[in-house]
Amino acid sequence: MSKDDALRLAEKQNTDLVLINASAKPAIAKLLNANKYFYEQKRKEKEAAKKQRESQIIVKEMQFRLGIDQHDFETKCNNIKRFLEKNNKVKCVIRYKGRENANKQVGFEIMDRIVEFIETCDWETKPSINGNRMIGVLMRKEWGNIIKATRYLRVDYMSK
């Protein structure tokens, strides 16, 4: 159908002629309500962008101190659980100040308590001391199993 015929038909039916694919030979156009069509296109784009944002892995940070109270500890661990449920990774940081530097092993105990409290997480990078900070990155256990399986497959493949 020619362009002029299509425009006349669109005017007769009181709709719009919307070009769908201009690169096709011949070009593809539809008779429809343009406002509704463009609204649905924007909605689809927003939904795709939202899914892409959700699939990204974000590293959140949670800071602890050696003298943390039990309730504060539980609150921070509950926040870590919430982050891990949203498929984020959590960087746990313990800062040492002054005389706390003499008790570095207490930081490892706090990191162990974090993993015991949450139960659904595992260390992506084990806690290590870097200057006056101890840093460890947590991830969900399911990811840990997937990573270990892929590492095993690579090693198995390389050994053949």
- Per the DSSP assignment, residues forming a β-bridge with 89 are 59
Q: List, for residues 68-81, the tens digit of each pLDDT value.
A: 999 999 999 999 99
Q: Look at residue 151 and tell me whether its pLDDT is greater than 50.
A: no
Q: Does the predicted TM-score (pTM) go above 0.75? A: no
| 15-38 CB burial, b ≥16 within 10 A, e <16 | ebbbeeeeeeeeeebeeeeeeeee
Q: What angle (nearest 5°) sits at the alpha carbon of residue 87, between those of residues 78 and 129?
A: 65
Q: List, for residues 13-49, the tens digit of each pLDDT value.
A: 888 888 888 888 888 888 888 888 889 999 999 999 9
pLDDT for the residue 143: 56
Residue with tokens 């009181």: 14
Q: In angstroms, rounded to a whole number, what is the distance separating the alpha carbons of residues 139 and 115? A: 10
Measured CA to CA in angstroms, residue 141 lies from 51, 61, 134 at distances of 23, 18, 22
The band of 160, judged by pLDDT with boundaries at 50, 70 and 90, is very low
Q: In angstroms, rounded to a whole number, what is the distance separating the alpha carbons of residues 105 and 94? A: 11
Q: Look at residue 125 and tell me whether its pLDDT is greater than 80.
A: yes
